[in-house]
Chain A
Amino acid sequence: MSGPVVTGLGAVTPLGLGAEEHWRATLAGRRGLGPITRFDSSSYPVRLAGEVRGFTAAEHVPSRVIPQTDHWTHMGLAAAQLALSDAEVDPAELNEYEMAVVTAASSGGTEFGQREMVNLWGRGPGFVGAYQSIAWFYAATTGQISIRHGMRGPCGVIATEQAGGLDALAHARRLLRDGTRVAVSGGADASLCPYGLVAQLSSGRLSVSPDPERAYVPFDPEAAGYVPGEGGALLIVEDAGHAARRGAPRIYGEIAGYGVTFDPPPGSDRPPALRRAIENALADAGVAPGDVDVVFADAMGVPELDRVEVEALTAVFGPRGVPVTAPKTMTGRLYAGGASLDTVTALLAVRDSVIPPTVAVRTAPDGLDLVLDAPREAPVRCALVVARGYGGFNSALVVRAIA
């Protein structure tokens, strides 16, 4: 066969390092949300986050690169290495121009940037560090992965806030049609510093609940925002023929379809465009709604946005027409890393034919078959991942077991 398949998974998440560790914790319904430890958050209305615990940059990032890069890029480099190892890709053995890196970026190297603004505004213009120019900007992670692994193909960086993970994977798929054979793609994010959190607060979408069991409960009547997190996932998206020729150890599934739309401006009387993104993704994959075995919902946790998603899903699949889940209730929302992590989780659900649970939510809307609390064993051959980004971005991706 030809076409885009996923041959490697690399995850760095509040539930673990590596896709398998993340997956086991997800099936166990482990809670990844807790008090913020990266800085003193006591003066802020939000004090919870999904932090990646036990992550030591020195174990994953070349020592020379550590001071040149933000925490965000450390996680991206770690996830890329994990994904390449999982796929047993040795970049040195492949054509340099046939390998590409496409990542999603949401807010760049926020913590690094804040430190350098302290130097500038607290001490003076001569005190900005030499690495600010390459650590803060949105292309830092893609550039560092490209350099580390000698990938000289067409690299990319897509910023569509929290929809970015899917848009990056779709772009990687596009590159495979044009000569690229192997793409490292997805996203990892980390904006848990004071300025990063305060900026997120201004979106009005963060939950101020201090209770990790109640703070992020999408679709629940008590939903009142979300909890931010850090981490994400990078995947190896590979041409199927190439994967077969090099003897890739496994194929998790194919990227079968993608749809992308943008909402009308605030105040417009036109309908939200999420439903159309989902319909376009299914059409692109050549599957009917009845072929989809599970939906990984965007699950914003903001009542109005939850309502829009429930309406879109019931319009496409019918009331309770498909099992829906939101394992991100265990990690918080990982911004540029969230949707690619959902894609990893969806591919593992396909592999093991089990739907991971949504946690903490007590009451789901009538129209939604939300898989609550415990995993549900069911044949899973085809999964839909939904993601939205601040301002009106809607993306949907279909992954499927290979025939």
Chain B
Amino acid sequence: MSEERRVVITGIGVVAPGGIGTKNFWGMLTAGRTATRTISLFDPTGFRSRVAAECDFDPAAHGLTPQEIRRMDRAAQLGSVAADEAIADSGLERGALRPDRIGVSLGSAVGCTMGLEQEYIVLSDGGRMWEVDHEYGVPQLYGYMVPSTLAVEVAWRAAAEGPVSLISTGCTSGLDAVAHGAQLIREGSADIMIAGATDAPISPITSGCFDAIKATTPNNADAEHASRPFDRDRDGFVLGEGSAVFVLEELSAARARGAHVYAEVAGFASRSNAFHMTGLKPDGREMAEAIRVAMERAGLNPEDIDYINAHGSGTKQNDRHETAAFKRSLGRRAYEVPVSSIKSMIGHSLGAIGSIEVAASALAIEHNVVPPTANLRTPDPECDLDYVPITARDHRTDVVLSVGSGFGGFQTAMLLARPGEAA
């Protein structure tokens, strides 16, 4: 049975910087607009990097109730709104399905850090007390400490009583959570998976920790153009936030109910570099292996790939690492196929971005348009592929490779295909 169950995306919900809702998100990407700006979510004075890609997000306007807004950390709010949109988009009727056959697989790198930090400030009275004052603890504090809360909130909205989990593999969480959701449907553990990821890391502690290792850009003077993957003048990534959530279901069930099918989750694989928590070897070896295995599982060849949605974080070591990985795994095809990084426009939302990139990949198949790499004015001579600079491109797109790379050394590759394209 597991061999025959194919998994497709039938609903998409996105909350991204510069575009809330799938339609706005796609409009923004194809226009090549950037959403990076000076941080407004907190006062960034004194921080090395003061740029981020923020969501202009009003939870009440997106249907969250006052109690939900009080209870939920920002990451949970973003994820809940994206999940609501995905479920509505899928046309599934809430209540018409067996709850035990619905599951949730949500990804997040830093969980409810924002809530956790805000409460810490109060309980420690501004960092003054090591023995923090428990009498100031809010009831939802424990929910902030455990990232699983994010999956709980989405499960409640989806009336899911099947397998529910939060996947937290750093910056590959978003791809890994979608892969996990697809795997559970394939193996027969669920029929419907609400899968995706959310992160809201634009807070002082998370900004501070990336400042400390100089991973984020110091280009505060030109925030709009600060995220520059594959460009010679890049100098670090731009922190982002957001969420993308999907309804995944089995292909024949989706067709039987007449659902709109965006794309099939055709194959995926993960490998680890076992090298360094943050460092990458320039050879791209383990990412290449993940790509090779994902293609094998999908029954696809390098020639089948029409577009690569890159990790493209805008750090020198990443851009070279993955360029090498594409060449290593795809050979000649790496030079023929368009490659782009939407992080140039919406920043790097850590665990969420993998899912947001899956959304962009599915929409590229839907519309036969490849989103661009914004800000790519002066290519890095060592990055010599077709990175679709500045302007979106009409391009027949049946199969997309999306990759992620993250702290811990994790590398994940996923193939999305127009239904009927994968073997």
Binding site for B on A (CB under 8 A): 39-40, 43-45, 68, 96-97, 100-101, 105-108, 110, 113-114, 116-118, 120-126, 128-130, 132-134, 136-140, 142-144, 146-147, 149-161, 164, 167, 174, 179, 191, 194-204, 260-265, 270, 273, 276, 389-393
Please state if B212 and A39 are interface contacts (CB–CB under 8 Å): no
Partner of A265, one of B131, B142, B156, B278: B156
Cβ distance A175 to chain B, nearest Cβ, rounded Å = 10
Interface flags, B117-133, vs A, CB<8A=1, else 0 = 10011011011101111
Partner of B162, one of A108, A191, A261: A261
Q: CA separation between A276 and B203, bound complex, in Å?
A: 40
B358 at the interface (CB under 8 A from A): no
Cβ distance B112 to chain A, nearest Cβ, rounded Å = 10
Partner of B134, one of A45, A160, A191: A45
Collect the chain A residues with CB atoms within 8 Å of residue B272's CB.
100-101, 143, 146, 151-155
B271 at the interface (CB under 8 A from A): yes
Please state if A43 and B205 are interface contacts (CB–CB under 8 Å): no
Among B146, B159, B176, B209, find the residue whose CB has the most chain A CB atoms closer than 10 A.
Answer: B146
Cβ distance A365 to chain B, nearest Cβ, rounded Å = 26
Collect the chain B residues with CB atoms within 8 Å of residue A124's CB.
46
Q: CA separation between A276 and B128, bound complex, in Å?
A: 48
- In B190-224, the 8 Å CB interface with A consists of 204-205, 207-213, 215
B274 at the interface (CB under 8 A from A): yes
Q: CA separation between A122 and B139, bound complex, in Å?
A: 25
Which label, helix, strand, loop or mixed, suits the secondary structure of the A interface?
mixed
Cβ distance B73 to chain A, nearest Cβ, rounded Å = 13
Q: CA separation between A105 and B142, bound complex, in Å?
A: 14
Collect the chain A residues with CB atoms within 8 Å of residue B261's CB.
none
Among B47, B48, B120, find the residue whose CB has the most chain A CB atoms closer than 10 A.
Answer: B120
Please state if A139 and B215 are interface contacts (CB–CB under 8 Å): no
B166 at the interface (CB under 8 A from A): yes
- In B239-276, the 8 Å CB interface with A consists of 269-276
Collect the chain A residues with CB atoms within 8 Å of residue B138's CB.
202
Write the chain B residue with the least CB distance to A276. B100
B167 at the interface (CB under 8 A from A): yes
18 contacts between A and B (CB under 8 A): A43-B134, A107-B146, A117-B127, A121-B121, A134-B407, A143-B410, A151-B274, A152-B271, A152-B274, A154-B272, A155-B169, A157-B168, A159-B151, A167-B165, A174-B187, A202-B137, A390-B148, A391-B146
Number of A-B contacts (CB under 8 A): 261
Please state if B131 and A194 are interface contacts (CB–CB under 8 Å): yes
Cβ distance B99 to chain A, nearest Cβ, rounded Å = 7
Please state if B144 and A199 are interface contacts (CB–CB under 8 Å): yes
Interface flags, B130-173, vs A, CB<8A=1, else 0 = 11111001111111111111011001100111111111111000
Provided the pairs A143-B410, A160-B151 are in contact, do residues A194 and B205 lie with their beta carbons within 8 angstroms?
Answer: no
B110 at the interface (CB under 8 A from A): yes
Please state if B126 and A121 are interface contacts (CB–CB under 8 Å): yes
Please state if B134 and A264 are interface contacts (CB–CB under 8 Å): no
Partner of A160, one of B164, B176, B205: B164
Please state if B148 and A147 are interface contacts (CB–CB under 8 Å): no
Provided the pairs A43-B131, A140-B408 are in contact, do residues A157 and B149 lie with their beta carbons within 8 angstroms?
Answer: no
Please state if A143 and B277 are interface contacts (CB–CB under 8 Å): yes
Cβ distance B292 to chain A, nearest Cβ, rounded Å = 10
Please state if A128 and B208 are interface contacts (CB–CB under 8 Å): yes
Please state if B211 and A68 are interface contacts (CB–CB under 8 Å): no
Cβ distance B297 to chain A, nearest Cβ, rounded Å = 8
Provided the pairs A122-B128, A198-B132 are in contact, do residues A139 and B213 lie with their beta carbons within 8 angstroms?
Answer: no
The 5 closest A-B pairs by CB, nearest first: A121-B127, A143-B408, A391-B152, A122-B127, A128-B208
Q: CA separation between A197 and B134, bound complex, in Å?
A: 9
B183 at the interface (CB under 8 A from A): yes
Q: CA separation between A262 and B144, bound complex, in Å?
A: 19
B111 at the interface (CB under 8 A from A): yes
Please state if B142 and A137 are interface contacts (CB–CB under 8 Å): no
Please state if B209 and A128 are interface contacts (CB–CB under 8 Å): yes
Collect the chain A residues with CB atoms within 8 Å of residue B407's CB.
133-134, 137, 139, 143
Provided the pairs A121-B127, A139-B410, A147-B275 are in contact, do residues A159 and B147 lie with their beta carbons within 8 angstroms?
Answer: yes
Write the chain B residue with the least CB distance to A145. B274
Q: CA separation between A234 and B159, bound complex, in Å?
A: 33
Partner of A198, one of B141, B163, B164, B278: B141
Please state if A161 and B132 are interface contacts (CB–CB under 8 Å): no
Please state if A161 and B148 are interface contacts (CB–CB under 8 Å): yes
Write the chain B residue with the least CB distance to A149. B274
Cβ distance B240 to chain A, nearest Cβ, rounded Å = 16
B310 at the interface (CB under 8 A from A): no
Please state if A132 and B408 are interface contacts (CB–CB under 8 Å): no
